[in-house]
Chain A
């Protein structure tokens, strides 16, 4: 039974939503400074207007919802999912004001795609947008990868007892350190260290490839943000194919695969438990499924004779598959090449990789390697139980930072979320089919949106039907927040109207 929320519940939800909106508004300082630095005055004005709107809503909501009450679990879930909607509606302003979007819905699509680290986009004439807007696209995907709530936790919550409840609502339920705010800071430490090293490496590589220093730096920073967040946004419409460089592709590959690791794994490896990377169930599961998907696609493409030599085949096949499996969405082939060159088997291998996704509590989307690993272990444990003597007690363990017992509760939760993802993929695919799009293309695009990957076979475009755009926004949101907090928001809305 859902209990009708009382006034105090509305107030506490409003207060914390306001805090998070202020945090997101503050992020606009980065693109604003970029716009001013490059004398893009129109873009700078767009960001000033947008920041004002964020602050009016953020501070206004906090003022209107003054309360001393702290968050309950249900509040945390509602705040997390609701904040993403408000941040999308308001965050679309600079996109819309730029004149590069066909409609406000298109602008919201791009912003939700950024926050959810999906990488699909509808922005038009991407190669000629301002530096400020490009910075905003990449900052919001970097911030979205960290988690909007993590940002607020780090800078605004200051150890609030209820902060952890919002943090869990955003789908990051790993505590690296005893204190949730310090956990958020540890996540930032890992991300910022990679930002410094990764951006520098990409900057130097781009200069070596012939880009001017300032342009190379901007591209380095933006591609890093797109890679680390497993977002897939890039400053050019050709995505990472634009650079035509093995070196650049290897650097980007390292960044996006590292970005797809669980922050708990990062922290374990960074604090001395280096063997964790080959013992952790998530990385083992990820490595196995990536190898399977790569083998299928590679053998198929070799049989078709699409690529002339080993290097070309490895560069194209492994890169797209790793990008798909980590739910990054970077590509070094044209979108339509999935249909015209890779064919149904190559696309099916990519769909398999995208659907699974990478690690939980990371920047990646999809079902997650951990859940696939748990379900696989439970499956084999059941087989062992079936063939073992009746009196035998079959117990299964799995390793994630430390050893855990594989109990039915853990498997049930993993199965539940997996079923929810598969159902969403099915609905997303069906929607495309209802619009007359071929089955394999509908499934590819639907899974890409729902798993927050962003690889496209050419369906996602400004000319896409409005209902598909709206539905994909919802799928991206559901996929990123892993259902629970979105369902809590829906339940809250229903109970506010008619619940008891």
Chain B
């Protein structure tokens, strides 16, 4: 989001401006997907462990 970055020099006059919220939502979604990816690894490890020892 270059328009957000360009505001850095001006000290972010408004962090809560409406035009930023779409980028914020995408950021939050990216983080959620990352955590779900880690959880999927945990589930995969459990599946492998149960196949070997279960």
Q: Could you tell me which A residues sit within 8 Å of B by CB distance?
A: 177-179, 182, 185-186, 189, 193-194, 197, 250, 253-254, 257-258, 261, 266, 269-272, 274, 277-278, 283, 287, 290-291, 294-295, 298-299, 301-303, 305, 309-311, 313-314, 317-318, 321-322
Contacts and interface: CB of A to CB of B under 8 A. Distances in A.
Contact of A271 (B5, B11, B36, B42): B5
B30 A257 contact: no
Contacts of B26: 274
Contacts of A270: 23-24, 27-28
Interface in B8-54: 8-9, 11-12, 15-16, 20, 23-24, 26-28, 30-32, 34-36, 38-39, 41-43, 45-47, 49-50, 52-54
A328 to B, nearest CB: 13
Contacts, number: 119
A257 B39 CA distance: 10
A272 B50 contact: no
Classify the secondary structure of A's interface with B: helix
Q: How large is the interface on B (under 10, 10 to 19, 20 to 34, 35 or more residues)?
A: 35 or more
Given A253-B35, A290-B38, A299 B49 contact: yes
A177 B11 contact: yes
Nearest to B1: A272
28 contacts: A178-B8, A182-B11, A186-B12, A193-B28, A197-B28, A253-B35, A253-B39, A257-B35, A257-B38, A258-B32, A271-B20, A272-B5, A274-B27, A277-B30, A277-B34, A291-B41, A291-B45, A298-B42, A301-B49, A302-B49, A303-B53, A309-B54, A313-B46, A314-B43, A314-B45, A314-B46, A317-B45, A318-B43
Contacts of A272: 1-2, 4-5, 23, 27
